[in-house]
């Protein structure tokens, strides 16, 4: 039985990855922050499948102690300050958690057991204002917020530990990925929740910024599968994980509201104070390398993704009531 250590276990990706590894017979150890919020739904999904431990990645001794105690063969770093509301908030904390913490993990692996395989959840935010589209592994990085800058530092350190120290370390350059477990602070979940609430008569409008922004949206379950596949090959490498398609926020709203029998135009209100600054080029990933070398491909279409998110919120609302959405992170 292999043992895997997952940081950020209670995040969307952490739960999906824990389920996938458990199905494959792994012993899964999940690291959570000591002040992690109570997330009953997520905890219930991995209850009995994951050994939960608490620790802070900003403390150097945490990782070494965990590696010595649990002796994992694989480590997946999914811990990060990730919400859009935090992109410019507390840049020092972002740099520590999203950047320096990765170096602490790599250093712990190097000193405790350099045979451990490591996968870093990297981000398409590193591309930022790049001028090449679609973006692939060789595309020039040009991050435009502290989150992207910190992720780029971590990405570079993963490459350095791989080339200089010979670690099996790789980065999954993940484009936007969603699921019914996405937090309500993200725009996609806010749309799916609002569609459910308005469809049930608990709300009458959704305030949004521009609907013209486009993103390459995929299903989180597909993306964690790519991370697992990256650690099963002979030679470590970095991979872009994306669908290769872009869709607008407007499309997301249209499909979400149609799922509950509504026309989004009657309920979505645009706040003129939120000015939309278009991307220099479309942000869309080229996953050809992952397709050819890993045999990875997404299995959930954009429409299916929106439907499953709305369906989950309709179910949650029907079984838990309106108050369920207050603080819910399904």
- Burial code (b: 16+ CB inside 10 Å, e: under 16) for 169-200 equals bbbbbbbbbbbbbbbbebbbbbbbbbbbbbbe
pLDDT at 200: 95
Fold matches, 3-177+217-241 and 185-216+246-279+302-325: no
Catalytic site includes residue 60: no
Catalytic residue among 26, 76, 122, 125: 125
Hey, where are the domains in the chain? Answer: 3-177+217-241, 185-216+246-279+302-325
pLDDT at 42: 57
pLDDT band, very low/low/confident/very high, at 122 (cuts 50, 70, 90): very high
Catalytic site includes residue 161: no
Q: What is the mean pLDDT of residues 190-196?
A: 97
pLDDT at 278: 79
Distance in Å from the first CA to the final CA of the chain: 30
Phi, psi of 74 (to 5 degrees): -135, 140
Q: Quick count: other Cβ atoms within 10 Å of Cβ 260?
A: 17
In tens, the pLDDT along 130-177 reads 999 999 999 999 999 899 999 999 999 999 999 999 999 999 999 999
Cis bond leading into 134, ω under 30°? yes
What's the pTM?
A: 0.93
For domain 185-216+246-279+302-325, the CATH superfamily is UDP-galactose 4-epimerase, domain 1 (3.90.25.10)
Say which range, 134-138, 201-205, 209-213, 255-259, has the weakest mean pLDDT: 209-213
Catalytic residue among 26, 76, 124, 147: 147
Catalytic site includes residue 210: no
| Token output for 227 | 């991370």
Catalytic residue among 26, 76, 123, 161: 123
CA-CA distance, 305 to 221, in Å (whole number)? 11
- Burial code (b: 16+ CB inside 10 Å, e: under 16) for 301-324 equals ebeebbbbbbebbbebbeeeeeeb
Query: How would you classify the pairing of strands 247-248 and 214-215?
Result: antiparallel
Task: Please answer whether residues 242 and 175 qualify as being in contact, where contact means their C-beta atoms are separated by less than 8 angstroms.
Answer: yes
The top-level CATH class assigned to 3-177+217-241 is alpha beta
């Amino acid at each position: 039985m292999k043992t895997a250590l997952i940081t950020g276990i209670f995040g969307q990706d952490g739960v999906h990855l824990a389920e996938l590894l458990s199905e494959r017979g792994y012993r899964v150890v999940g690291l959570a922050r000591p002040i992690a919020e109570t997330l009953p739904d997520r905890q219930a999904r991995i209850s009995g499948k994951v050994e939960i431990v608490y620790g802070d990645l900003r403390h150097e001794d945490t990782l070494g102690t965990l590696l010595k105690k649990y002796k994992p063969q694989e480590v997946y770093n999914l811990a990060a300050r990730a919400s859009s509301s935090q992109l410019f908030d507390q840049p020092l904390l972002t740099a520590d958690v999203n950047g320096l913490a990765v170096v602490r993990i790599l250093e712990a692996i190097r000193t405790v057991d350099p045979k451990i395989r490591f996968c870093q959840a990297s981000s398409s935010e590193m591309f930022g204002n790049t001028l090449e589209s679609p973006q692939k592994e060789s595309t020039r990085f040009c991050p435009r917020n502290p989150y992207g800058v910190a992720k780029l530092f971590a990405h570079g350190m993963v490459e350095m530990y791989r080339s200089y120290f010979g670690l099996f370390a790789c980065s999954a350059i993940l484009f936007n990925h969603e699921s019914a477990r996405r937090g309500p602070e993200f725009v996609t979940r806010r749309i799916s929740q609002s569609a459910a609430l308005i469809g049930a008569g608990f709300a009458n409008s959704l305030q949004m910024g521009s609907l013209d922004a486009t993103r390459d949206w995929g299903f989180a379950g597909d993306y964690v599968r790519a991370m697992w596949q990256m650690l099963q090959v002979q030679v470590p490498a970095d991979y872009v994980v994306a669908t290769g398609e872009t869709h607008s926020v407007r499309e997301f709203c249209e499909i979400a509201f149609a799922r509950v029998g509504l026309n989004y135009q009657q309920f979505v209100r645009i706040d003129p104070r939120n000015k939309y600054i278009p991307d220099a080029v479309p942000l869309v990933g080229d996953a050809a390398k992952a397709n050819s070398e890993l045999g990875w491909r997404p299995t959930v279409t954009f429409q299916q993704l929106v439907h499953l998110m709305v369906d989950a919120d309709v179910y949650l609302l029907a079984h838990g009531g309106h108050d369920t959405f207050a603080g819910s992170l399904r």
